[in-house]
Chain A
């Protein structure tokens, strides 16, 4: 046996062709089987959540830079954001750029920010869309989203990809509508994941806010129990990975975007997020590299 070969989950996934290396940590292609698992899980989510009658929307994996700036993402996560830049020079600059590329020198000086920022979480695109519609109805709002998301956190852990898909249900309404929605999904999410035969645990959590100030935000988030995660052990020798998250934003997005309930109060929001690749990885980790050989009950839950 090859002495230098390692046998981490990432190695196994690459060896079996489920993840395809692209030369950057956290950036991978996916095999047909891997994509099939993601699609089946997507359908499973719909079977559990579609009956609530959400409005389905799909967006490209990028958002309006002005909306991104207004969202407040830079306050908490400047280190994770990915902004799209493009060449903004003249023909002489272009020649210099090519010269620098050829000589291995920095060529990015002529790159200027465009109007586009990579989507950091599926729901960030939604708030300005809902705000533009005016006040919510008595029923509030419920939306179904799925998008590739970008976070700049290169890692050897396959669960920490830089570009990954996030499915979300997002609820808008009164504080009670927000907390009821989260309570519903905290319970429903565990029942749904139990069908997949993987070990799960639910715990209070915090977002990875930046810097010292971020520790204060994280402590506040935990104190108020605003975020819960459904965790599954996936990575070798590391703590479990958050695969679903259940978030109550209070009036954070409602006040940022001026979204109101019919009686004029600032709307509260909540969301449940599903890490599509992470759940697929959990299935490969616990049931093996060949989905054909996964336990019958798991196959039935996913393929029917």
Chain B
């Protein structure tokens, strides 16, 4: 899942640095992920993983790192399966 997240980040994150230079827990906001870019990222993740972020999951914390994105996606997938 992380590899796919990184691929989507590279395409939609508009980060000023290469995603390969960031670790899974590095702060994406500090690395330059803007609010507008995180919206594009969210939409791309929704399409790629066939999920929909509920309102309460749409926040900065869930886009703060590759690991945080993965955690949020897993949670949404679990909730959808339940």
Pairing of A with B: yes
Q: Name A's B-contacting residues (CB within 8 A).
A: 72, 75-76, 213, 215-217, 219-221, 223-224, 252
Could you say which residues of chain B place their CB within 8 Å of the CB of A220?
A: 35, 38, 59-60
Query: Is the CB–CB distance between A217 and B55 below 8 Å?
Result: no
Q: 22 A-B residue contacts at CB 8 Å?
A: A72-B36, A76-B36, A213-B39, A213-B42, A213-B43, A215-B55, A215-B58, A216-B35, A216-B38, A216-B42, A216-B53, A216-B58, A216-B59, A217-B36, A217-B39, A219-B55, A219-B58, A219-B59, A219-B60, A220-B60, A221-B35, A223-B61
Could you say which residues of chain A place their CB within 8 Å of the CB of B34?
A: 252
Q: How far is the CB of B12 from chain A (nearest CB, A)?
A: 12
Could you say which residues of chain B place their CB within 8 Å of the CB of A76?
A: 36
Q: How far is the CB of B52 from chain A (nearest CB, A)?
A: 8
Query: Is the CB–CB distance between B36 and A75 below 8 Å?
Result: yes
Measured between alpha carbons, how far is A31 from B45 in the docked complex, in Å?
Answer: 53
Inter-chain contact total with CB atoms closer than 8 Å: 32
Q: How far is the CB of B13 from chain A (nearest CB, A)?
A: 14
Q: Please tell me which one of the listed residues B35, B43, B53, B61 contacts residue A217 in the complex, with CB atoms under 8 A apart.
A: B35
Could you say which residues of chain A place their CB within 8 Å of the CB of B55?
A: 215, 219
Main secondary structure of the interface of B (DSSP, over half): helix
Q: How far is the CB of B40 from chain A (nearest CB, A)?
A: 8
Measured between alpha carbons, how far is A176 from B3 in the docked complex, in Å?
Answer: 38
Could you say which residues of chain B place their CB within 8 Å of the CB of A221?
A: 35
Main secondary structure of the interface of A (DSSP, over half): helix
Measured between alpha carbons, how far is A119 from B34 in the docked complex, in Å?
Answer: 25
Question: Which B31-55 residues have a C-beta within 8 angstroms of A?
Answer: 34-36, 38-39, 42-43, 53, 55
Measured between alpha carbons, how far is A220 from B34 in the docked complex, in Å?
Answer: 10
Could you say which residues of chain A place their CB within 8 Å of the CB of B35?
A: 216-217, 220-221
Could you say which residues of chain A place their CB within 8 Å of the CB of B60?
A: 219-220, 223-224
Could you say which residues of chain A place their CB within 8 Å of the CB of B36?
A: 72, 75-76, 217
Q: How far is the CB of A242 from chain B (nearest CB, A)?
A: 20
Measured between alpha carbons, how far is A216 from B38 in the docked complex, in Å?
Answer: 9
Q: Chain B 51-78, CB within 8 Å of chain A: the 1/0 string? A: 0010100111100000000000000000
17 additional contacts (CB under 8 A) given A219-B58, A220-B60, A221-B35: A72-B36, A75-B36, A76-B36, A213-B39, A213-B43, A215-B55, A216-B35, A216-B38, A216-B39, A216-B42, A219-B55, A219-B60, A220-B35, A220-B38, A223-B59, A224-B60, A252-B34
Could you say which residues of chain B place their CB within 8 Å of the CB of A215?
A: 55, 58
Measured between alpha carbons, how far is A76 from B36 in the docked complex, in Å?
Answer: 9
Measured between alpha carbons, how far is A252 from B32 in the docked complex, in Å?
Answer: 11
Measured between alpha carbons, how far is A224 from B38 in the docked complex, in Å?
Answer: 14
Which partner residue on chain A sits nearest B52 by CB separation?
A212
3 closest cross-chain pairs (CB), A and B? A216-B58, A213-B39, A220-B35
Q: How far is the CB of A200 from chain B (nearest CB, A)?
A: 29
Could you say which residues of chain A place their CB within 8 Å of the CB of B38?
A: 216, 220
* Residue of B39, B55, B59, B61 with most chain A CB atoms under a 10 A cut-off: B39
Measured between alpha carbons, how far is A213 from B59 in the docked complex, in Å?
Answer: 11
Measured between alpha carbons, how far is A217 from B63 in the docked complex, in Å?
Answer: 12
Measured between alpha carbons, how far is A219 from B61 in the docked complex, in Å?
Answer: 11
Q: How far is the CB of A255 from chain B (nearest CB, A)?
A: 8
Which partner residue on chain B sits nearest A209 by CB separation?
B39
Measured between alpha carbons, how far is A224 from B29 in the docked complex, in Å?
Answer: 12
Measured between alpha carbons, how far is A224 from B63 in the docked complex, in Å?
Answer: 14
Measured between alpha carbons, how far is A75 from B37 in the docked complex, in Å?
Answer: 11
Q: How far is the CB of B69 from chain A (nearest CB, A)?
A: 13
Q: How far is the CB of A4 from chain B (nearest CB, A)?
A: 41
